Amino acid sequence: MSDTGHQGRHGHEFLEFEYDRGRLRYANNSNYRNDSLIRKEMWISPLMVQELKRIVEDSEILKCSLVEVQNSDDPEGLRVMYYLVQDLKCLIFSLISLHFKIKPISV
């Protein structure tokens, strides 16, 4: 999953997620307030992959093609896609936050 971003007054800004065989990568490039590129990487469990798949399947976004959405008078497909992306972003941000903020307990 990926977002190519936009060109704004702060330059080229983007938010990108990539999943490959258990590894989840995140990149955020925003020049707002002179921020630099943020990259994070973590491994996720098969159970989390299963949950991501369930969210996509439950959204029913796979039931029609992009051409069908574009040719439709009903913007329902775009609405579903918008909320699907928002749900996935929220879940991934939560995972990243938990992964990088929780300190393991040493035994």
CATH number at residue 25: 3.30.1560.10
Domain annotation covers residue 107: no
Task: Show the domain range for 61.
Answer: 6-101
DSSP the chain: -B---EEETTEEEEEEEEEETTEEEEEEE--GGG---EEEEEE--HHHHHHHHHHHHHHTGGGS-HHHHHH-S-THHHHHHHHHHHHHHHHHHHHHHHHHHPPPPP-
32 occurs within a structural domain: yes
Tens of pLDDT along the chain (107 residues) come to 444 555 566 565 777 888 899 898 888 877 666 677 888 888 989 998 898 888 888 887 777 666 666 677 777 777 777 788 888 888 888 888 887 776 656 65
Residue 53 lies in a domain: yes
Q: How many domains does the chain have?
A: 1
